[in-house]
Amino acid sequence: MSKLEFNIVEIPDGESRRTVELTDEDLDLSPYTFQGGTVDLLFYRTLHFIRVNFHVDSDVEIVCDRSLKPYIQPIESDYEVVFKVDVQEEKEDENGAIRRFNFSSNTLSIEDEVRDTIFLNVPIKKLHPKFLDEEGRPKEFETKSFGDVKEDTDAEVVDPRWEKLKELKN
């Protein structure tokens, strides 16, 4: 049983809280490397549903797109999952999900939701912190040339075929 899988009978009626510490072996985030983190859970249980709000605070090792060097990216996010008895169709969006109870196992799992929440918060442009300024924006970088650089003298030359086409236009 995963650390993010809970027995339904062990969740008390009403509101309750739990904190789960995750290690690097608890979640598979390939191609990234999960470095561990904390999931703060808020359960709200009634006869008809169980609502699970969670806050993920974790670290993920990713590779910088500019330097190809690995670095640790802190990730923090919130999500909500509602487990209901009478759900005909499961739904989800960027803020939450509605799922069916699994009565056969008498458990509910939020492992997929936690993993997906972390994935969705990995930045699209993965830049090592050394390439960011104090406000988190990318710094300009210089380009270097090696060897002799020839000046572009052909910029002024116009293809004679274009000249002929221009004459036809007039």
* pLDDT tens sequence across 37-75: 999 999 999 988 899 999 999 999 999 998 899 999 999
Q: Taking a C-beta distance cutoff of 8 angstroms, is the pair 54, 40 a contact?
A: yes
Asked whether the whole model's pTM tops 0.85, one would answer no
Question: Encoding tokens for residue 10?
Answer: 């062990």
Q: Got the DSSP string for 38-72? A: EEEEEEEE-SSEEEEEEEEEEEEEEE-TTT--EEE
What are the tens digits of pLDDT across the range 2-38? 889 998 888 899 999 999 999 989 888 888 999 999 9
CB 58 within 8 A of CB 22: yes
CA distances for 52 relative to 1, 8, 98, angstroms: 18, 12, 10
Beta bridge partners of 138: 132
pLDDT at 104: 74
pLDDT of residue 81: 93
The SS3 of residue 116 is helix
Query: Rounded CA gap, 117 and 119, in Å?
Result: 5
Q: Where along the chain do its domains lie? A: 5-131
User: Tens digits of per-residue pLDDT, 119-153?
Assistant: 999 999 898 888 888 887 888 877 777 777 666 65
- Contact predicate 114/40, CB 8 Å: no
